[in-house]
Structure 1
């Protein structure tokens, strides 16, 4: 069965920051015999517009091909002729600069192959950069005419006459060969063209950033650039925040635009001896430490230090980049055979490298392949750190949060500092850029009318409160206990629990008195803690467990969720002591936090949802709802959210060195089962495969969709007639393969439910990770925080012209009130539609769904089902830390495990 229903064509605050200037764009040349390289190894990533490497249905190996129920030739819905016309119009500025192509130009594409002296291919960005800089130095005729991605692709305005080139980096010899790609010989990029394809956008992106990437004083990660001359901001132990520029070429209704934004990155501080870093770790954690103290400190705190050091890339004595895996013996005691002679590690380093170890008594570090080296021969490397602790995250957010007016000025400072119009490469290709950001018209829609159990409200500022409000549909708790792992005193605990119960009753949640308040051991013996919790669940036969944590203990949190969600089917809620108590300024004693009532009201939002209740819903009396959405809601509609979470950036390690690399991801799918589209049970999928690229797919999506539609049918005694999917986390280069695969999986699930079951499906991608920002032109159009303007666009701001794509049905909506920093609108793309959405209906629908996020009295930044899928995927990471109950489906190189939530909870919003 196949159907083509497509309708058209596809597609930190502060002043005095150092700037990336044109003076820095020249870049240092690289000698053909020796190379002084930037100390940071830069691995380039593909542009968001590059052709995706995802495995689509039609390109899968024979053994994994699927029955095609969705026609892959279905085109994306075309851009609607009639745009959004609800609400009040006002002017905004977007951080898009129009790109002007003065002339057409033809380019020749070359495939670049770099090999070392052993004829082995090299794909290092460092080596690629060294090669092209030396090539341009020797062959000046190609200056400003060549673009190179430092890997495999070279673009030239003229034909290369020298197609083989030998060079040296750090004394090592390499050879580069340039092979023309035949299909590109006539590739022409035309000026004033309405549409540009993926390959042309990729070339233009290389054009915009080539000079920056050649500059040794500029650090480059994907499309972000950081000036190394700028003083960094220290945000943690051996951790700096750098601020720079993000540049991306975007196709739009204006033509081509340069999307320019501020960028931030957390970087490990480089060129530091690992002993100094270890000493600083213990200085911070305990007391003053020097290298002589390290042996004792490491023996006492092995796990803590190792956990910290695993976040840092190091350079060993051979200048090889490695990661630390463990500690091992020491250089005095560790011996091994060298040419049939047993030799101590410290003696080997003296003989082989002429290194006299100063601290041979310190533990060695293990760096893989059973290799152990002294800690003192290692230095840190400047590279990104992804796993930040809460303090580091807070410091980064605080420094990255820039008020809108300040951000707008900083963007202009970056634009003037980079000075692309003076770039000789852009001049050679006949390109210049407008000097001003784009001004355009936006619309402001009123917030949705919200209905509680006892009243309706009309919030127009993106925020409201629960005061005096009974939840729309409430549930009750009969058996529950409290376990305190924080050491809270008895009086404070009783005060808190009394407030919690009374707050729940104010919202009409039935709360029996707790059966017990128990003190749990917090001695970090987590096995004992787990057994204690399990024992108390069984002893009291509870349905709800309230846990008080100390210092946001993540390990106890993980144990609680695994036990509650998977093993016993008990609703759990964790609260940190820091939210309950605060230090009195006058006495210095800890007292009950005056805001504890608000805390408990927020907890009640979560508790009622976990119990199966609904806190509030969209009011059917809302005028826009009546005119545009009532028909949709009355037609047995089911709304889904889909998200994929990546627990680790690399492959899962195996004890078998010959085993294939296994990449893991956690996918979550939620689906509404009630007529108000407010209640979303979920499915969690653990995905394993041998291809990193396939992680973005929900490969066996049919498992989750089948289960969720079955829940809907069980509750409503009928099947949904319309399915609307909000998909998070898909970049534009992945639109077609992801949509084709997942639409096919959705159709497969429908066919499994009932032969001939063919509901109307719409598939919408929600993008959060983009760099478009909107700034109100007039002060009176700014959002209000209390009595004051906060410089952001107001909630309900819609943009669907000029800066949107020229060919796809896409739009921006800023649905939340930005309190800190600059608000980021959500970017929506309609990739498949059988429900005849027009602009007014789809934009209003998406915006109104931002008002029903059950755990918050705000209009959130993206639709509630997408938010729920994100929460659920994050919960899946907790399950993924330990092997839990999995129902597996294996298909070729892909393995999907449907995590078995306990029957008591699988129809509830356990994840919220």
Structure 2
């Protein structure tokens, strides 16, 4: 798939050594691994469904009961695949029956749930494949990927049997924090990775999970989470919807003699749980409240509070319910809780690495029977790897004013005039902060901002200030009447002052400006310090939104970039939260059109939920090509496509589809630009790079002398650190680039995987007639330089191309959040969301409105 054969190791920059959280894995035994597939439970009892966590429990119980046949014990992936280091004695196929309630001798056994398990031997992963998982030609080999999965399962079984876990992490209660009734637990992520030189390593990192505490009274937990003092408030409509979102899929236990020890999953909640009626076994219709009094001899205190529905129709009063074992909370977190979690998880690099290295007792690599039987030996010493530190680019302003930026990762705009200042012919200030911001305070803030804009060379005549305590849309409509956007004239900017916490107002403002009326809007929260520094940061956004350019990165890589008409594309797909399959995913594309790759246009479209491929990639690319030609008069001869958010397992599918879509766009559109019968492979140099941020590889300085003053404080590796040796993938052309300076916690490098780098570059000539140089050094240097072109900041950022998915929901009319559909239990469908999607207003299509 990848034609990036010439890409591997760069040479630019100062050579250093760094530590990583990768630990060498050696296979000390010659083994064949026997794989058993098609594990199919056959339910004997009617009306019975198997919860997601039950298969692992079933296989554990089966191996305990049949210890003579499963010796040594095998590894189960929790779904349907079972591996054994020996050929099991029952031959190619075996069937077993397990009673799910056999573990409790005191539980009634009149109607046990029995499960038949069928194991079928389907493959043998031989010793040669196990030892060559890290070979260059093993990438995307299904058998090699199966072997990796097996090794990962073997590593995780021991800790997962003791602690709450998800697919790749487990969480311990050694270090935790309480918040709103929930608990934050630290834990460990672990993953076996092939690395260069046909070697293997285990990537171990700190992780954190939000936990539901064990055996907590559900009514107390709900009140703490929702911030309520009176239990009766749980029945209020908004609280009821929030409670539904909070409790759904939770495992609970009914704290009554006949139910203790039986964990049930919450399917839904109902209003007035005690007043709900059903027909009992005698054919009499009674209420839930009456049933509990008659059968359990308990009276409900809160008959009107929500009831908990489990199974198909069973309803229990919330006051009798407890949480089960400590379990992961999987629903969406509030903004406040997310902030708390970020604070909890933030660790300085030396503390993070020390905690990783001190976690061997919890990881159990040295005493797990599964690991030892497989002959796996994991070093407890972090790998030291070769790295280079790239020189930071200069930051260019008006004329020949270039800040050579010798403090990697940051620079200062004070005393500088923007490279291309905008002209604010019309702008207004609208305050929705009410009594928090009086007229005098607002006037002083606007005066400071105006002075800063003048210092940065942004022309502005001074705005009109509006105080509006009323409805957002009506107030903005009134401003629009005073400042109409006439075709062909410069856009009007509206600066909006909000209270400290106004997410709903912010979303409505962005919908009004972006989709409905076509006005550039910029929101500020009055609780912040409205000083000169804040106004300078705000000026960066305003100038970028109003078609200006704050500064440009300047170095030899960007000079080479500008030698050829080049378009940088950034692509991303954002998905709805866990368990939400009705909302669409959002595909977004941005594309540059200037020689410095600083100005971008965007296209954002909904598509089917959780589809990672950008389904309309060809049409979106054509739109970007048309814009480039409109601005420059010629089509690009080079396209650099940075794709965010693709997992390694999705690389072949997503990469091939989207690369072919770009080629198809070139082939279908270039004739309209005066280029007949275009061959994309000979006409345009195409480089496609997947940029991943959601990974767990970290790097740590070895020698403090390699750091500058700022990085000595944060203890992070210096901005510009690049790793393309030792711990990179043997079959992918990849590298890690830490492009931003660390401030708090441990910096995460971006992982660049070069999927496509065609050979047309050797034939291309720049504007001066010289051959184009486009090797790994140029690619790494250009990627680092482009991280200095993000308008709202005077710090380099983690990825090269800007993202617009964060404003996705402001394109939907009547956006429905997790607690909405008040007065109705109807869950909005995909079609409901798409029918309410509004594209960007035509007046803003050429602007960077999303900054």
Indicate whether the TM-score tops 0.5.
Answer: yes
Partner residue of 1:544? Answer: 493
Cα distance in 2, alignment partners of residues 231 and 309 from structure 1: 29
* Residue 756 (structure 2) pairs with residue 832 (structure 1): yes
Aligned equivalent of 1:459, options 386, 405, 408: 405
2:113 matches 1:164 = no
Q: Which residue of 1 is the match for residue 118 of structure 2?
A: 178
Give the equivalent residue in structure 2 for 1:3: none
1:365 CA displacement: 6.0
Q: Do the aligned partners of 1:650 and 1:663 also contact (CA within 8 Å) in 2?
A: no
Q: Is this contact kept in 1: 2:7–2:776, CA < 8 A?
A: yes
1:494 is displaced (CA, Å) by 1.0
* 8 Å Cα contact 1:666-1:877 kept in structure 2: no
In structure 2, the residue matched to 1:137 is: 64
- 8 Å Cα contact 1:763-1:832 kept in structure 2: yes
Change (3 A) 1:308 1:298: closer
Which residue number in structure 1 is paired with residue 328 of structure 2?
Answer: 383
CA contact (8 A) 2:159 2:364 kept: no
- From 551, 574, 581, the equivalent of 1:645 is 574
C-alpha spacing 1:183/1:144, structure 2 compared with 1 (3 Å): closer
Change in CA separation of 1:164 and 1:792 when aligned onto 2, cut-off 3 Å: same
Which position in structure 2 is the counterpart of 1:573?
Answer: 522
Deviation string, structure 1 residues 566-599 (Cα, Å, up to 9, x no partner): 011000011011114xxxxxxxxxxxx5xx2111
1:678 to 577, 581, 598: 598
Q: Secondary structure at the match of 1:394?
A: helix
- 1:431-466: per-residue Cα shift (whole Å, max 9, x none)? 212231111221111101110115210113211111
1:473 corresponds to 2:420:
yes
Stretch deviating more after TM superposition (468-477 or 753-762): 753-762
Which residue among 696, 700, 703 is the counterpart of 2:612?
696
Secondary structure of the residue aligned to 1:343 is strand
Give the CA deviation at 1:405. 1.0
2:145 is aligned, of 188, 198, 201, to: 198
| Alpha-carbon distance between aligned partners in 1 of 2:128 and 2:321, rounded to the nearest angstrom | 49
Cα deviation digits, residues 22-52 of structure 1 (max 9, x gap)? xxxxxxxxxxxxxxxxxxxxxxxxxxxxxxx
1:108 matched to 2:23: no
Equivalent residues of 1:472, 1:614 under 8 A apart? yes
Distance in structure 1 (CA, Å) of the matches to 2:778 and 2:472: 52
* Larger CA deviation: 719-728 vs 159-168: 159-168
Alignment of 1:256 onto 2:200: yes
Residue 685 (structure 2) aligned to one of 756, 760, 775: 760
User: Offset at 1:529?
Assistant: 2.9
Which is worse superposed, 742-751 or 250-259?
Answer: 742-751
Q: Which residues of 2 match residues 761-800 of structure 1 at below 5 A? A: 761-785=686-710, 788-800=712-724
Question: 1:79: how far off?
Answer: 6.2
Q: Report the secondary structure of 2:372's partner residue.
A: helix
Q: Residues 636 and 899 from structure 1, CA distance in 2 versus in 1: closer, same or farther, beyond 3 angstroms?
A: farther
1:842 aligns with 2:789: no
Using a 3 Å threshold, how does the CA distance of structure 1 residues 386 and 861 change in structure 2: closer, same or farther? Answer: farther
**Does the 8 Å CA contact 2:812/2:836 hold for their aligned counterparts?**
no
The 8 Å contact of residues 635 and 670 in structure 2, kept in 1 or not, is answered as no
Q: Which residue of 1 aligns with 2:809?
A: 877
Secondary structure class of the residue paired with 1:100 = strand
Do the aligned partners of 1:115 and 1:122 also contact (CA within 8 Å) in 2?
no
The offset of 1:800, in angstroms, is 0.5
Report the Cα offset of residue 386 of structure 1: 4.8
CA contact (8 A) 1:102 1:191 kept: no
| Alpha-carbon separation, structure 2, partners of 1:702 and 1:121 | 47
| Matched positions, count | 771
Q: Which residue of 1 aligns with 2:17?
A: 91
- The answer to whether the 8 A contact 2:175-2:186 is kept is no
Residues 136 and 781 of structure 1, relative CA distance in 2, 3 Å threshold: same
Aligned to 2:257: none
SS of the equivalent of 2:842 reads coil
1:748 Cα deviation after fit: 2.7
Please report how far the alpha carbon of residue 796 of structure 1 lies from its aligned counterpart in structure 2 after TM superposition: 0.7
2:405 is paired with a residue of what secondary structure? coil
TM-score, length-scaled by structure 1: 0.80
Cα distance in 2 between the residues matched to 1:783 and 1:438: 23
Alpha carbons of structure 1 residues 559 and 192: separation in structure 2 relative to 1, 3 Å: closer
TM-score, structure 2 normalization: 0.85
1:273-672 pair list within 5 angstroms? 273-281=217-225, 284=227, 289=229, 293-295=230-232, 297-298=233-234, 301-304=236-239, 306-307=241-242, 310-313=245-248, 314-315=250-251, 317=254, 319-322=263-266, 324=268, 328-329=271-272, 331-332=274-275, 334-335=276-277, 341-351=284-294, 356-364=299-307, 374-380=317-323, 382-415=327-360, 417-454=362-399, 455-460=401-406, 461-487=408-434, 488-521=437-470, 528-541=471-484, 543-580=492-529, 593=530, 596-619=531-554, 622=555, 624-625=556-557, 629-652=558-581, 662=582, 664-672=584-592
Equivalent residues of 1:444, 1:795 under 8 A apart: yes
1:146 aligns with 2:74: yes
- The whole-number CA distance in structure 2 between the counterparts of 1:771 and 1:102 is 26
Q: Helix, strand or coil: the match of 1:113?
A: coil
The question of 1:155 aligning with 2:83 is answered yes
| 1:348/1:308 CA distance change after superposition, 3 Å | closer
Q: Report the alpha carbon displacement of residue 828 of structure 1 after superposing the two structures with TM.
A: 0.5
Gaps of 5+ in 2: 103-111, 139-143, 255-261, 486-491, 672-676, 762-773, 817-829
Contact 2:72 2:85 in 1 (8 A): no
CA contact (8 A) 1:96 1:438 kept: yes
Q: Counterparts of 1:120 and 1:294 in 2: how far apart (Å)?
A: 35
8 Å Cα contact 2:266-2:308 kept in structure 1: no
Q: Secondary structure at the match of 1:218?
A: coil
Is the 8 Å Cα contact of residues 782 and 789 (structure 1) preserved in structure 2?
A: no
The equivalent residue for 2:141 is none
Superposition deviation, residue 414 in structure 1:
1.0
Equivalent pair of 1:610/1:908 in contact (CA under 8 Å):
yes
8 Å CA contact 2:169–2:190 kept in 1: the answer is yes
User: Is 2:211 aligned against 1:267?
Assistant: yes
Aligned position for 1:29: none
Q: CA RMSD in A?
A: 2.9
Contact kept, 8 Å, 2:273 with 2:315, in 1: the verdict is no
- Return the alpha-carbon distance in structure 2 between the equivalents of residues 188 and 910 of structure 1: 55
For 1:696, what is the secondary structure of its paired residue? coil
> Where does structure 1 lack aligned partners over 5 or more consecutive residues?
1-73, 522-527, 581-592, 653-661, 885-890
Question: Which deviates more, 430-439 or 122-131?
Answer: 122-131
Counterparts of 2:483 and 2:311, CA distance in 1: 48
Equivalents in 1 of 2:43, 2:297: separation in Å? Answer: 27
Most deviating of 436-445 and 114-123: 114-123
CA drift of 1:746 comes to 1.7
* Cα separation, 1, equivalents of 2:504 and 2:318: 29
Q: CA deviation at 1:774?
A: 0.8
